Amino acid sequence: MQAWSIYIVRCNDNSLYTGITLDINRRLSEHTSSNKGAKYLQGKGPLDLVFSFVVGEKSDAYKLERLIKKLPKKDKEHLIKNPDQIKLLLATL
């Protein structure tokens, strides 16, 4: 069984994009060089992976993604600088 991961990338305009995947390297490649990437990221490269965390179950990854996407940008920046804080978010699932 493969483990799902959550990731955050920083765009060239300093915005943050959060997603989930089974393979972060493949997904980043899709975002930058194929039509399988997120529409939001089109024209916003280069992308910089600033955070990743192996979640495990797909349903938990979706819940965590939804939770992080709802955070204000300052809280996302805090999470990027303090990756251990992810444990606090996981406790709310």
State the pLDDT at residue 50: 97
As a whole number of angstroms, the distance between CA 35 and CA 81 comes to 31
Q: How many domains does the chain have?
A: 1
Average pLDDT, the chain: 92
Overall pTM > 0.75: yes
**Any idea what the CATH number is for the domain that residue 59 is in?**
3.40.1440.10
Query: 8-26, pLDDT tens digit by residue?
Result: 999 999 999 999 999 999 9
Diameter of the chain measured on Cα atoms = 36
The tokens of 17 are what? 């994009």
Helix (H) or strand (E) holding 67: helix 58-70
- Distances in Å between the alpha carbon of 33 and those of 16, 28, 41, 43, 50? 18, 9, 11, 11, 19
Domain range spanning residue 22?
Answer: 4-90
pLDDT at residue 92 greater than cutoff 90: no
